[in-house]
Amino acid sequence: MPEVPARTRPDLFDPKARERALARARPETARFLHDIARDEIEERLAEVNRTFTAPAVVTDHPGLWSDLLPGARVVAASPVLELEPGAHDLVLHAMSLHWAEDPVGQIVQSARALQPDGLFLAVSLGGETLSELRAVLGQAESEVMAGISPRVAPMAEIRDLGALIGRAGLALPVADSLRLAASYADLPALARDLRAMGETNAIAARLRRPTPRALFDRAGALYARAFPADDGRLRATYELVFLTGWKPHESQPRALRPGSAEARLADALNATEFDETGGTRE
């Protein structure tokens, strides 16, 4: 199994709280994000136009992802992934990377499990997710409790997640995102959906004492005023980030050495090229 370096910083997430959240989840009643993510992954695999014979899926939601790739090895998104080095031609990390203490470690381990020219695919919630909820909870808590505690898990921006692919040693990295708009009748309805998804607060530094109802009443009022949707509902944003990278192989295209081009881009575009002084180049 791959070695995972010893951790020296405090944990961001509480594993016990995360386990409880997953145990209480009822994803069959709130699976719309997973369904959209699955459709997007299937489209990306169709574009690759390649048959994968030894796939693996890393996820905290096996009931929603285990049937996507026939014959796939399905493992939990634990700190040490139960994947053998070089055993797979495809590793899909499905909707769990945003809960990882060490996201680059998850990608490194996935990369180690790939055969040469194997494909790594990931889909995760991104930094724009629940931006409205984060804003109103912060404002309400500062007003009601004269302080702020973490209530919505931090999620990485697409540029940061994209940089992890190269750090993990994967080639031809691509990162893109899909922004989704949902609406809810009220704040309790949003909370019920998040509980069903298994996406409730598992931050280690979260408030451990009961929260007064006044905070949620105030947050609901702020939400309705600042982020209204149609028919008096509340708007909620979700962002799905998709990551793609390949295990290096000699058959893959490589960037040319700077200065090795045999023709100028300006000539190909029939354009005028200017130098640093503003003069034209012949």
Q: How far apart are CA 175 and CA 250, in angstroms?
A: 23
Residue ranges of domains in the chain, CATH in brackets: 15-249 (3.40.50.150)
Of 20-29, 53-62, 183-192, 199-208, the one with minimum mean pLDDT is 199-208
Per-residue model confidence as pLDDT tens digits over 151-177: 888 888 999 999 999 999 999 999 999
Could you identify the residue written with the tokens 């921006």? 157
- Cβ atoms of residues 92 and 201 within 8 Å: no
Strand partners, 177: 241
Percent of the chain residues topping a pLDDT of 70 = 87
- Please say whether the dihedral angle defined by the alpha carbons of residues 107, 108, 109 and 112, taken in this order, is positive or negative: positive
Per-residue model confidence as pLDDT tens digits over 106-165: 999 999 999 999 999 999 999 999 999 999 999 999 999 877 778 888 888 999 999 999
Q: Answer yes or no: is pLDDT of 35 > 80.
A: yes
Confidence of residue 259 (pLDDT cuts 50, 70, 90): low
Mean pLDDT taken over the chain: 88
Q: What's the length of the chain? A: 282
Q: Answer yes or no: is pLDDT of 2 > 50.
A: no
- HEC string for 36-82: HHHHHHHHHHHHHCCCCCCEEEEECCHHHHCCCCCCCEEECCCCCCC
- Please say whether the dihedral angle defined by the alpha carbons of residues 202, 203, 208 and 214, taken in this order, is positive or negative: negative
Query: For residues 186-220, b (16+ Cβ closer than 10 Å) or e, as one string?
Result: ebeebeebbbbbbbbbbbeeebeeeeeeebbebbb
Rounded to an integer, the average pLDDT of 3-17 is: 72
Q: State pTM to two decimals.
A: 0.84
The pLDDT assigned to 265 comes to 54
